[in-house]
Amino acid sequence: MTLSGCSTIKVVYNNSDDLIYWWLDGYADLQGEQKQFTRDALTDLQRWHRQQQLTEYVALLKRMQAMAPNDITPAQVCAITEDMKISFTGLLRHIEPASAQLSSQLSADQLRSVRKRFDKTNKTWKEDWLDPDTEERLRYRTKQATSRLEDFYGRLDKPQRDALNQWLSTSIFDPALSYAERERRQADTMQTLQRISQEGNTANKQEQAQSLLRGLVDRSFNSPNERYRAYNRELWNENCAGFAKLHNSTTPAQRLHMLQTLKAYEADFKSLMALR
């Protein structure tokens, strides 16, 4: 939903199997039979997603539509985002067997390709979040947030801009801690993929690979770093409160704009569901 424009959602969704394929290939440099296996798995994933998860999105959008005209609480915002997280976890569980099979086929060269891609994306992340000073980083966050919020509410006026500035300028967001967790997850990913590739052709290799990937996903959502877990919980609650306060500062016209946008998303998802 952070994409600008409902029509963009339909275009991206209908081409998601190709887009994800090229994203994966950019990391792992897929070879031989891996290419067709990955395409088939992604086609299956999109078919399943249309049948199973788009209905969840429509239900979620209806809940948001009911909330849009009224003031909301941080707890309501957190409940919506928690449901989004649960839905995404369900998607990862569905793709787990195919992910395990592909992971077990990765060569040492492909694992080096993954590591190289991590290093490249880290460089960009640092340029955006670690290298700038506090004021420049705040401007960047504000610009991003304003663009996304205006997709829903239309133009933000002074009360909303003031609420957004207070939200972000007092945020506990810690780029150094976030980057450290990013590196931990990447190291965890590399170690997990290496373990899977070293298991050999044992009778229960697929089951072991799935178990290892499930553990990786669990650690990604629930970091073993206690300090980061506490920080992430506080940041999550802060963002729920910040969004609720900003929404409560909006005008009836802005809330109507949001309601109409949510209804347009719902219509798009329903049309996508029909293409089974």
Rounded to an integer, what distance in angstroms lies between the CA atom of residue 10 and that of residue 23? 19
Q: What is the pLDDT of residue 201?
A: 56
Q: What is the pLDDT of residue 37?
A: 97
> Which one, of 43, 51, 46, 99, lies nearest residue 213 by Cα?
99
CB 248 within 8 A of CB 160: no
Rounded to an integer, what distance in angstroms lies between the CA atom of residue 126 and that of residue 232? 19
pTM of the model: 0.90
List average pLDDT for each run of 10 residues in the chain, which is 276 residues long: 59 91 96 97 95 95 97 98 94 96 95 97 96 95 96 96 97 97 98 88 81 96 97 98 98 98 94 81
Q: What are phi and psi of 224, to 5 degrees?
A: -70, -10
Rounded to an integer, what distance in angstroms lies between the CA atom of residue 216 and that of residue 219? 5
Residue 161's contacts (CB-CB under 8 Å, 6 or more residues apart) are 146
CB 205 within 8 A of CB 139: no
